[in-house]
Amino acid sequence: MSISPDGAAPRLRFEERERATLSPYAAFAGESRGRAVHEPEHDYRTAFQRDRDRILHSKAFRRLKQKTQVFLAPEGAHYRTRLTHTLEVAQIARTAARALYLNEDLVEAIALGHDLGHTPFGHAGELVLNEAYPGGFNHSEQSLRIVEVLERRRNGTGLNLTWEVRDGIRNHSCAKCILAGEPPGAAMSFEAAVVSLSDAIAYINHDIDDALRGGVITEQDLPSDCLEVLGRTGSDRIDTMVRALVDGSSNGRIDMTPEIREATQRLRLHLYTYLYPCETISREIRKAQKILRELYDYLIANPTPETPPPRPEDPEGRNVVDFVAGMTDDFALQLYERLFFPAPWRP
């Protein structure tokens, strides 16, 4: 049954509306390159809306709430976690995509899925697995592996997302090229490039906010020439950066206006040089790395009942990498305690 005036399925009307109203550079749901395994289309959701919903309902998405952004297992409720980071990226990306007449549903799906593959304890965990596992480890590839293989593992198709969403997840780290004024490494949709820049806009600003809140830095520690151009508050800076993204993207590429792009890049590099390696943060990261390295080594030699069984097509140890990478901060700490701390005797 349909309440649309001509009796057509609502999805067909939405696809038509996309063709009529979006930019010619947009990715149109009705022209998707499709899924690895063919599925009939839905009556009232486009392919990209469906993908967004599948990601939102996945287990990996729910685990993001207990994964570190920058501050490890923060006790204050106001610090970002990987989940709130993801939601901020989705908001920024949708705002920019709508202003650019790009596909908001595709942008939202990519944004919600982009960090699913993050390890516990943020990049600290990524470094440990990359060093320990002979095949190497990268969170973007792991995000893709989660949606293609690990979620809904039993039916063997993962979430079976469209090519466009998987491509956006795979290439979500290209902002560092765009901000450096270089072409992004891979050909990708405009929507994927918007998410990538929105990811940088989100983390630059919320990591500053969290660092100020935690007393790790004061405003004087930030480069004043950048703040003059970008704004003194997080909200002003996000607005400046998103405007620069909308105004700077035309004629077949996603970019920011040059002055704001350069100031954003300087601010970003400042965080990488002074904030992330600072002793307050790196002291805790070293502890987290030690825990994850010991967990990995132990689980390679001694699978626990929770370790997922190896898949015959995977190289040896991949199931342990997937297990460790999928852990939340809390789960990793609890497992470490269970495996390595003596249990109190309770008669």
Is position 329 an interface residue for Mg ion (rule: CB under 5 A)? Answer: no
Residues 6 or more apart whose Cβ sits within 8 Å of residue 292: 119, 120, 121, 124, 125, 128, 129, 324, 332
Cα maximum dimension of the chain: 74
Residue 160: CB minimum distance to Mg ion, A: 23
Token pair 């008669």 is at which residue? 347
Is position 88 an interface residue for Mg ion (rule: CB under 5 A)? Answer: no
Asked if 144 and 166 count as a contact pair (C-beta separation under 8 A), the reply is yes
Residue 111: CB minimum distance to Mg ion, A: 9
Cβ proximity to Mg ion, 35 vs 145, nearer residue: 145
Asked if 213 and 76 count as a contact pair (C-beta separation under 8 A), the reply is yes
Cβ proximity to Mg ion, 18 vs 108, nearer residue: 108
Is position 115 an interface residue for Mg ion (rule: CB under 5 A)? Answer: yes
Cβ proximity to Mg ion, 116 vs 230, nearer residue: 116
Residue 195: CB minimum distance to Mg ion, A: 9
Q: Is 35 helix (H, G, I), strand (E, B) or coil?
A: strand
Is position 126 an interface residue for Mg ion (rule: CB under 5 A)? Answer: no
What would the two tokens of residue 224 be?
């004043």
* From 146-154, 197-205, 244-252, 266-274, span contacting Mg ion (CB under 5 A): 197-205
Q: Which amino acid, one-letter code, is at 268?
A: R
φ and ψ at residue 168, rounded to 5 degrees: -65, -40
Residue 114: CB minimum distance to Mg ion, A: 6
**Cα radius of gyration rounded to whole Å, the chain:** 21
Count of residues touching Mg ion (by CB under 5 A): 2
84/156 Cα distance (integer angstroms): 30
Q: Please identify which residue in 18, 105, 151, 199 interacts with Mg ion, judged by CB under 5 A.
A: 199
Cβ proximity to Mg ion, 18 vs 210, nearer residue: 210
Residue 185: CB minimum distance to Mg ion, A: 17
Cβ proximity to Mg ion, 35 vs 114, nearer residue: 114
Query: Residue 182 has what DSSP assignment?
Result: S
The contact set with Mg ion (CB under 5 A) reads: 115, 199
